[in-house]
Structure 1
Amino acid sequence: MLVGRMGGVYERAYVQKRLDRWDEVEEGGEKLSAKLRPSGQDDMSILAMQRLNDYLPNGPASPVNMVLDYFKHDYEFAEPPRVTSLQNVVPLATFTDFDDDIYFVADQRGYEAVVYYLAGQYLKADKSGNIVNPRLQLNKVVTEISHSGGGVTVRTEDAKVYKADYVMVSTSVGVLQSDLIQFKPRLPTWKVLLIYQFDMAVYTKIFVKFLRKFWPQGKGREFFLYASSRRGYYGVWQFEAQYPDANVLLVTVTDEESRRIEQQPDNQTKAEVVEVLRSMFPGEDVPDATDTLVPRWWSDRFYRGTCSNWPIGVNRYEYDLLRVHRTPNLSIGIAPVGRVYFTGEHTSEHYNGYVHGAYLSGIDSADILIKCAQKRMCKYHIPGKFD
């Protein structure tokens, strides 16, 4: 990994010394997180943990410290350490359970292939793999979910009406925080409050194409960081090992920078990108970019962001309530909000924010629904808040 700045590249030893210090702080953070009470009363931000470990007490100030901090935190959670829960993301379950190597998946079929593969296991498909079962309704925009003791009614933007015994809502938490879907009757106040407590972060991968390569290549140079005095300003770059002849660079931005970039023309983004690259490689003849791809997850009404991030102070008891409905006696268990169930990456107990979290939470939520619908096992026990 190289760290660039205006006018060139930092010395490797200079950067490594700061990375080693960050590793020490992270180890201290893991030990502290393990000691916090499960109730969440002692939870703190990752930034607060850094201060406790005497790591840049006022936050990272120099460009190199800022971009390293960004790479270690914002690049993973899409939000800065000051808003991210220490207790619920350190150590990060995904890295603990699946290793902490980061791979760029270059499968041109996209995630859609996974969805069709799973659906094809129980819905009829043609020889090409396309789902032809009439129960699968695509390109339908749900605008209203009415629910009662007798069942649910779902209305779509094209004035179609669908009736069922139960409904599983798998939209992002960002959509739940918007007015796209109206629930009738409205969701309970406690549920709405929990939905709005969770953060819907914005994570933007910008692809930039050039006529030729001008950047460093070889082992250990997949990542290149740009140390700017402005946090998150085109900070994390990847060089395309998966598409060696494409002449494409990938730069990741998050949070405020993502929102800013989504609201400006792509030509302006392209110009900013080239300006950054020319400042990093002053000795190279950096050409103008020929094309860019700028996703707009935050502006898209079907997403309203990219993934959830666990904020400070939301403990696992409250998180369980995000998925299900409490009953007057928590020792007995819980039941859905009427016949409305919820699933999605934001309901994954350990892997929120990730695709595997969405997949596993879907299995978990479906199991809860099936047990209730078919076996009348509608009680789902969760520990009390202070247990």
Structure 2
Amino acid sequence: MSVTSGTLSSVTSHGIAISLFSGAGGLDLGVEAAGYEVRAAVEHNADAVATMEKNFSHLQSEVIQRDILEVPTKELLGAAGLKGRERPDLLVGGPPCTPFSKSGFWLEYKRKGLDPGASLLQSYTRILREGKPRAFVLENVYALTFNNKASRPAYERLLKEIDEAGYACESKVLNAADFGVPQARPRLFLIGVPKGKKVPQHPDPTHGGKWERRATGTTEQPHVTTSQALEGLMAEPEPGEVVAGKYGHLLPDIPPGENYLHYTEERGHQNPEFKWRSKYWSFLLKLDPNRPAPTIQAQPGPYIGPFHWENRRLRVPELKRLFTFPDEFEFVGKRTSVQAQVGNCVPPLLAEKVVGSVAAQVD
């Protein structure tokens, strides 16, 4: 059973899951496809909450729409229908990644990872410690593992708190394209169980191909391409999909899979518009129909791709396909809000593979 089939069919339940930082529910779709039942969820954004409640009508209670810092673990357990000493079978969540940027780490105590408000990771580990789930999955940006002053203290603190909560874990950066998602999207996954239990291993790749000038995944199946993912999709034109303004007229001449570098002297352009490597790589970037999409951002600027090879912005149904959301999944909110909800999510198919691997290995 796969979330890309368009429906979430019933599967044997591995137990109760609690979802933190739920967003629009991309991770939760994968959790349920892997056989768990999401009983309670916490999300602060109003549009994302509305999206969750529109598509997850079976939740034990309403999505808790509050700052997670204000949500006691006991309330979460109660929302999931757990009483007394009962504990969840799975805790999942992907805390927002903004605290791991370089900004804000000029203060010594923040560089050392001692600022309690610098990262929402501590809310996750607090609930892990108090809720005592039988297993957990934590997802985040892979930059969290970078050896720099912004990321390293936060990552080391996270590992220390997981250990102090009584859990052992394995961490690994997974590229979504290596698991059948038509998008090259590297994400960090930590999976763990209480100390003394055998720690589940991450899933093996099911697909493979070239990513950032190197081969990733397996040779058994090639990466799913954007043209394969979008095949047969009828998506109506959307307001604002035309790329206009100062640079919009340049997009049609850029070949699929290329970007603003097409207009540089180094590429042999007769009338160069840009200097070599003067913009972000995603500037005027166009999809290649023969490869997975590059990472799709939550808040792209006006000229930040990937754009469709038809020289326009991607439409919502196309975004859903490139993230492996079912076609019938409904997002709530304005177009910019939908872009943010999709761009911040874990592709459901990747989530299904990770959580399914955990479910198959836990005692």
Q: Same fold (TM over 0.5)?
A: no
TM-score under structure 1 length normalisation: 0.27
Structure whose residues are more often strand by fraction: 1
